[in-house]
A and B are shown apart, each in its own frame.
Chain A
């Protein structure tokens, strides 16, 4: 028996997440993206507490003003403060993005895990995924907006109804990539020894999935979560821009941009604020996803 060369470890043990964080920190774009995204989220949710002009307050004497101390982003054609509208619009856009992403993620992971784990369901579920991928999504989203707007508005009120509709529509049309990636990973992990060991001590299927398989497919799920936020925000803005999203007096970034295009010649800056907000949010989320992918991949980590 050989003795250990150094019986006392010189460094304290490190958790996996500490390693991930170290790798993430070294990706400068990702770190900046993460900080920027947190900043944007904090501004749109906490901003209204500090900037207490109501986004729907109409001051017709102060309409079409340029930037000033009273209105840093100027005012719109009805004299509503653009900064307040941007924050109100941002909280809707970001909420839609986050909720739709979670719905898509839940559906995608569920279908992916079930398809990967239970061989009998693999074929039908993957055919279903292929079918959904073959659907023309933007036209279908537009059609769904047209069809279900009235009944949902009647049931939940105009704002709540359209929120539910947009979140559900985006959620059920964007789960497919997640499902495919998760299924692939589950198929690979299912054959590993630790799963066999867990099964041999009599672990039930549901425990096997939640305790052993899900933690191991967490990294692709997290990466597709970040990308999901980005696509959801862009899709919501596109719908609002095409005039089939939120109602006119209920600002979102896409809606603000759409309204501002009518005043493009006189007040081009009104197009810039929402446009830059959408682009910056999506850009920061994309960089965040890029960095997460690197940080969560143990083959790249530590290099």
Chain B
């Protein structure tokens, strides 16, 4: 298992390098100039200096190498410096955003908590809703509950987040006026009232994201339970005289959870992609909104870094899913 994990980790390095190259080459084609906003009165040689200060003005391979060094070597040093008060990264040039002229990673770190809060809560809520629905629909296959569950998850698949988001805004904040339609990220939780407000503003984005995740997870849970419910070991367990609860909730559930856990792990990076739209609808200024803003403002270092972070998440969670599968299912041995 350990050798498998290490081998996969080593293999993921060329994958990630290749992906970063693809993203870099794509962005190389981009039109637009970071100096377009600079007034015309600025003399050309000053502009050239400014260009160099942003790390431009060199051929593409060198800039790609510099970006790699900045992302993989200097940024970790900055993080170590931040936590331990050391001075490894002093004087090194970091990845600079063209929009704000400040380090990209600082902005990403600022935006991260909002995304993690909303997306993370939605994921946890969805898991807690989806698993019981999946278990019960499989146990009572073709009952009205199962039919209803199938229909709702089909709807969850089909209604895109930009429609369900707008829909809940119309219902709950325009018509009923229960929740604020815009997520206020400057809100500080320091008392019971502010906590209640935080809950209120989180309910709608969480609801929209959770609907999608629930739809997928409950389908998987149901299919996986159905696979196991007709197995011989279930009949044996019943024949032993175990109670129905123990048979379903212990024997069947533990076996059915194996594929579901990997699906949960695989879905986490996809959720960051889905959250781009949800964040846009509810004006949550998280990672997704940062990416949209950077794309519209032609801020290439920011786009490059963010897209690469998404790629890292996907590769990482693929690895985690594979390793989890091996740990949970003793029949699967990679070595």
List A residues at the B interface (Cβ < 8 Å).
Answer: 130-131, 133-140, 142-144, 146-148, 150, 230, 234, 237-238, 241-244, 254, 257-258, 261, 264-265, 268, 271-272, 275, 278-280, 282-283, 286-287, 290
Contact = CB atoms under 8 A, between A and B. Distances in A.
Contacts of A257: 162-163, 166
B18 to A, nearest CB: 6
Contacts of A146: 30, 295, 298
A142 B296 CA distance: 10
B314 to A, nearest CB: 5
Nearest to A275: B163
Given A143-B27, A264-B166, A138 B276 contact: yes
Interface string B150-172: 00001101111011001101100
Interface stretch (B137-145, B247-255, B303-311): B303-311
A86 B281 CA distance: 22
Interface residues of B, number: 43
A76 to B, nearest CB: 16
A85 B170 CA distance: 22
Given A136-B307, A136-B310, A139-B307, A264 B169 contact: yes
A244 B295 contact: yes
A69 B16 CA distance: 58
Contacts of B314: 133-136
A280 B157 CA distance: 11
A134 B311 contact: yes
B329 to A, nearest CB: 20
Contacts of B166: 257, 261, 264, 271, 275
Nearest to B167: A275
A268 B174 contact: yes
A278 B163 contact: yes
B184 to A, nearest CB: 18
A282 B162 CA distance: 14
B243 to A, nearest CB: 32
Is the contact region of chain B dominated by helix, strand, or loop, or is it mixed? helix
A234 to B, nearest CB: 5
Given A275-B167, A286-B157, A134 B315 contact: yes
B29 interface: yes
Closest 6 CB pairs of A and B: A136-B310, A275-B163, A283-B158, A282-B158, A138-B273, A241-B162
Nearest to B275: A138
Nearest to A149: B31
Contacts of B296: 243
Interface in B268-318: 269, 273-274, 276-277, 280, 291-292, 295-296, 298, 303, 306-307, 310-311, 313-315, 318
Nearest to A287: B154
A286 B27 contact: no
B144 to A, nearest CB: 15
B273 A139 contact: yes
